[in-house]
Amino acid sequence: MNTTGKILALTKDHELWRMVLDLDQAYFPRPWKDSDWNSLDLSRHQVWAYHDGDHLLGFTLLATNPGDETAHLLKIFIHSELRGTKTSEIFWQYVAESLRNLNFKYVYLEVEESNERARRFYEKIGFQVLRRVKSYYSDGEAAEMLRLTI
Protein backbone atom coordinates (compact mmCIF):
# COMPACT_ATOMS: atom_id res chain seq x y z
CA MET A 1 0.00 0.00 0.00
CA ASN A 2 1.38 3.43 -0.93
CA THR A 3 1.79 6.10 1.73
CA THR A 4 0.81 8.90 -0.65
CA GLY A 5 -2.35 9.17 -2.63
CA LYS A 6 -4.94 11.48 -4.07
CA ILE A 7 -7.94 13.11 -2.48
CA LEU A 8 -11.31 12.50 -4.05
CA ALA A 9 -14.72 13.99 -3.15
CA LEU A 10 -17.10 11.04 -2.87
CA THR A 11 -20.70 10.90 -3.93
CA LYS A 12 -23.07 8.21 -2.69
CA ASP A 13 -22.91 6.28 -5.97
CA HIS A 14 -19.10 6.05 -5.98
CA GLU A 15 -17.63 2.56 -5.53
CA LEU A 16 -15.60 3.75 -2.50
CA TRP A 17 -18.68 5.07 -0.66
CA ARG A 18 -19.61 1.60 0.70
CA MET A 19 -16.00 1.04 1.81
CA VAL A 20 -16.09 4.24 3.84
CA LEU A 21 -19.27 3.08 5.60
CA ASP A 22 -17.68 -0.31 6.31
CA LEU A 23 -14.55 1.31 7.79
CA ASP A 24 -16.75 3.54 9.93
CA GLN A 25 -18.64 0.48 11.24
CA ALA A 26 -15.48 -1.51 11.89
CA TYR A 27 -13.19 1.05 13.46
CA PHE A 28 -15.10 3.91 15.06
CA PRO A 29 -16.35 3.60 18.65
CA ARG A 30 -19.47 5.54 17.68
CA PRO A 31 -20.18 4.58 14.05
CA TRP A 32 -23.01 6.13 12.11
CA LYS A 33 -25.93 4.02 10.98
CA ASP A 34 -26.28 3.43 7.23
CA SER A 35 -29.40 5.59 7.37
CA ASP A 36 -27.33 8.50 8.77
CA TRP A 37 -24.85 8.17 5.91
CA ASN A 38 -27.61 7.80 3.33
CA SER A 39 -29.39 10.93 4.51
CA LEU A 40 -26.19 13.00 4.52
CA ASP A 41 -26.70 16.25 2.60
CA LEU A 42 -23.64 16.47 0.35
CA SER A 43 -24.30 20.15 -0.38
CA ARG A 44 -23.39 20.74 3.30
CA HIS A 45 -20.85 17.97 3.88
CA GLN A 46 -17.69 16.65 2.26
CA VAL A 47 -16.68 13.01 2.26
CA TRP A 48 -13.12 12.95 0.98
CA ALA A 49 -11.44 9.63 0.23
CA TYR A 50 -7.68 9.33 0.18
CA HIS A 51 -6.73 6.61 -2.29
CA ASP A 52 -3.74 5.37 -4.26
CA GLY A 53 -5.68 4.08 -7.27
CA ASP A 54 -5.98 0.54 -5.91
CA HIS A 55 -6.66 1.05 -2.21
CA LEU A 56 -8.62 3.33 0.03
CA LEU A 57 -5.93 4.72 2.36
CA GLY A 58 -8.28 6.79 4.49
CA PHE A 59 -11.21 9.14 4.51
CA THR A 60 -12.58 12.20 6.22
CA LEU A 61 -16.07 13.57 6.78
CA LEU A 62 -16.66 17.27 7.39
CA ALA A 63 -19.71 19.48 7.78
CA THR A 64 -19.10 22.37 5.38
CA ASN A 65 -22.06 24.73 5.43
CA PRO A 66 -21.73 27.12 2.48
CA GLY A 67 -21.00 30.67 3.69
CA ASP A 68 -19.56 29.54 7.05
CA GLU A 69 -15.93 30.32 7.94
CA THR A 70 -15.60 27.17 10.05
CA ALA A 71 -15.73 23.60 8.81
CA HIS A 72 -16.59 20.91 11.37
CA LEU A 73 -14.42 17.79 11.22
CA LEU A 74 -16.67 14.84 12.09
CA LYS A 75 -14.44 11.88 11.22
CA ILE A 76 -10.92 11.21 9.98
CA PHE A 77 -9.41 7.80 9.42
CA ILE A 78 -6.15 6.39 8.10
CA HIS A 79 -5.69 2.68 7.46
CA SER A 80 -4.00 1.07 10.48
CA GLU A 81 -1.02 -0.14 8.39
CA LEU A 82 -0.28 3.47 7.45
CA ARG A 83 -0.48 5.06 10.88
CA GLY A 84 2.74 6.60 12.11
CA THR A 85 4.10 6.90 8.55
CA LYS A 86 3.23 10.60 7.92
CA THR A 87 0.43 9.47 5.58
CA SER A 88 -2.15 11.13 7.83
CA GLU A 89 -0.20 14.39 7.81
CA ILE A 90 0.07 14.35 4.01
CA PHE A 91 -3.66 13.58 3.75
CA TRP A 92 -4.37 16.44 6.13
CA GLN A 93 -2.42 18.88 3.94
CA TYR A 94 -4.70 17.95 1.02
CA VAL A 95 -7.77 18.32 3.23
CA ALA A 96 -6.66 21.75 4.50
CA GLU A 97 -5.91 22.92 0.95
CA SER A 98 -9.31 21.68 -0.26
CA LEU A 99 -11.03 23.52 2.61
CA ARG A 100 -9.15 26.75 1.83
CA ASN A 101 -10.29 26.39 -1.78
CA LEU A 102 -13.87 26.29 -0.44
CA ASN A 103 -13.10 29.54 1.49
CA PHE A 104 -13.04 28.01 4.97
CA LYS A 105 -10.72 29.69 7.49
CA TYR A 106 -11.07 27.44 10.54
CA VAL A 107 -11.67 23.81 11.38
CA TYR A 108 -13.44 22.80 14.57
CA LEU A 109 -13.73 19.32 16.08
CA GLU A 110 -14.58 17.34 19.19
CA VAL A 111 -12.47 14.37 20.20
CA GLU A 112 -12.96 11.72 22.89
CA GLU A 113 -10.61 12.35 25.78
CA SER A 114 -9.56 8.68 25.67
CA ASN A 115 -8.45 8.92 22.02
CA GLU A 116 -4.92 9.93 22.89
CA ARG A 117 -3.48 9.08 19.50
CA ALA A 118 -5.95 11.32 17.68
CA ARG A 119 -5.48 14.11 20.24
CA ARG A 120 -1.70 13.92 19.74
CA PHE A 121 -2.17 13.95 15.95
CA TYR A 122 -4.44 17.02 16.07
CA GLU A 123 -1.98 18.82 18.33
CA LYS A 124 0.85 17.97 15.93
CA ILE A 125 -0.96 19.47 12.94
CA GLY A 126 -1.67 22.67 14.85
CA PHE A 127 -5.08 22.34 16.53
CA GLN A 128 -5.51 24.20 19.80
CA VAL A 129 -7.71 23.09 22.67
CA LEU A 130 -10.64 25.46 23.27
CA ARG A 131 -12.16 23.60 26.22
CA ARG A 132 -12.93 20.25 27.82
CA VAL A 133 -16.58 19.21 28.22
CA LYS A 134 -17.41 16.65 30.91
CA SER A 135 -19.88 13.88 29.96
CA TYR A 136 -20.10 15.15 26.39
CA TYR A 137 -20.95 11.72 24.95
CA SER A 138 -24.00 9.64 25.86
CA ASP A 139 -21.81 7.06 27.65
CA GLY A 140 -20.43 9.77 29.94
CA GLU A 141 -17.08 10.24 28.24
CA ALA A 142 -15.52 13.71 28.22
CA ALA A 143 -14.58 15.52 24.99
CA GLU A 144 -12.05 18.13 24.04
CA MET A 145 -13.11 20.89 21.62
CA LEU A 146 -10.29 21.91 19.28
CA ARG A 147 -9.85 24.57 16.63
CA LEU A 148 -7.34 25.18 13.85
CA THR A 149 -6.78 28.20 11.63
CA ILE A 150 -6.05 26.82 8.17
Ligand X SMILES: CC(C)(COP(=O)(O)OP(=O)(O)OC[C@H]1O[C@@H](n2cnc3c(N)ncnc32)[C@H](O)[C@@H]1OP(=O)(O)O)[C@@H](O)C(=O)NCCC(=O)NCCS
CA 118 to CA 121: how far, in whole Å?
5
Per CB under 6 A, does 75 bind ligand X?
Answer: yes
Sheet with 143-149, strands from edge to edge, namely 6-9, 45-51, 56-63, 70-78, 106-112, 143-149, 128-133
Measured from the Cβ of residue 64, the count of other Cβ atoms closer than 10 Å reads: 21
Per CB under 6 A, does 116 bind ligand X?
Answer: yes
Region near ligand X per CB under 6 A, out of 2-10, 33-41, 49-57, 84-92:
84-92
Report the residue from 1, 2, 11, 84 that binds ligand X according to the rule CB under 6 A: 84
Per CB under 6 A, does 22 bind ligand X?
Answer: no
CB nearer to ligand X: give 6 or 103. 6
